């Protein structure tokens, strides 16, 4: 019997996009399944109440529930390190593995690895976030040597509302960013229905597009030694980076 691979995804409680998208991504892979544990996230802002949602103890508790399912990888399918700092996700991964014995990754750390491996130092950023959150993300990337020289954001703060953003709005943001000729574009939010649009938008613009749901699925599959080269319909990431 072929080995079954189980991917564990830590999920914001109000997110309605990442679970169906993640499941659709892995559906074509034999013996791969995705499993989800939620913790409370309802608002994205720099208010203390919103920042407190990412308290490590709550995330570790959710990770331990995923460990009961004997998943092969535990991934934080969220982008909070964008404004909290990349070191937060690095520490979180260490703590998850210490608590569960299971290797861990995150959407943002996976994205950063991809940008680094493809030498995409000048990139463009599309999010639904508030201006001050967006500015914090741009600043954190600058500190790590990445130039986010073009950006679009939608001034939303309610996490549930991100999944309600119309696909045409997402396409418009990406097309406007593509006009600036970045080396890569990222749709940076795991509650946007952006990943299913990537294949068509890459063909249209000729620019690689790294959605943050896609990045964490890609990295989780690599960590579990699953070949992604046969995946179709989700962008060049799964075919061109082994």
Q: Give the tokens for residue 105.
A: 């990754």
Angle at CA of residue 28, ends 26 and 29, nearest 5°: 65
* pLDDT recorded at residue 3: 85
* pLDDT recorded at residue 82: 97
Q: Give the tokens for residue 20.
A: 């169906």
* pLDDT recorded at residue 95: 98
Query: Residues in the chain with pLDDT < 70?
Result: 1-2
* pLDDT recorded at residue 241: 84
- Sorted by where each starts, the structural domains of the chain and their CATH numbers stand as 5-109+213-240 (3.40.50.12500), 113-210 (3.40.50.12500)
pLDDT, tens digit (0-9, with 9 covering 90-100), for 72-109? 999 999 999 999 999 999 999 999 999 999 999 999 99
* pLDDT recorded at residue 203: 98
Do the Cβ atoms of 34 and 22 come closer than 8 Å? yes
Enumerate residues 6+ apart whose C-beta is below 8 A from 11: 18, 19, 36, 37, 38, 39, 77, 78
Q: Pick from 229, 11, 21, 222: which is nearest to 110 by CA? A: 222
Enumerate residues 6+ apart whose C-beta is below 8 A from 199: 233, 234, 235
* pLDDT recorded at residue 230: 78
What pTM was estimated for this model as a whole?
0.96
């Amino acid at each position: 019997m072929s080995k079954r691979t189980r991917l564990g995804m830590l999920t914001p409680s109000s997110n309605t996009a990442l679970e169906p998208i993640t499941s659709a991504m892995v559906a074509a892979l034999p013996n791969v399944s995705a499993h989800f544990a939620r913790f409370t996230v309802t608002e994205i802002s720099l208010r203390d109440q919103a920042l407190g949602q990412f308290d490590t103890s709550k995330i570790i508790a959710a990770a331990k529930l995923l460990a009961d399912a004997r998943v092969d990888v535990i991934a934080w399918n969220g982008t909070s390190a964008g404004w909290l700092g990349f070191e937060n996700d690095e520490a979180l991964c260490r703590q998850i593995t210490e608590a569960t014995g299971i290797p861990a990754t995150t959407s943002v750390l996976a994205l950063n690895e991809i940008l680094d491996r493809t030498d995409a130092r000048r990139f463009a950023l599309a999010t639904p976030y508030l201006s001050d959150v967006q500015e914090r993300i741009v600043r954190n990337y600058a500190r790590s040597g990445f130039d986010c020289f073009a950006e679009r954001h939608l001034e939303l703060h309610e996490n549930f509302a991100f999944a309600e953003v119309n696909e045409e709005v997402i396409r418009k943001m990406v097309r406007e960013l593509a006009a600036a000729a970045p080396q890569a574009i990222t749709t940076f939010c795991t509650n946007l229905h952006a990943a299913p649009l990537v294949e068509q938008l890459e063909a249209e613009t000729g620019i690689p597009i790294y959605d943050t749901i896609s990045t964490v699925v890609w990295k989780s599959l690599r960590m579990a030694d699953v070949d992604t080269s046969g995946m179709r319909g989700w962008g060049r990431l799964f075919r061109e980076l082994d």
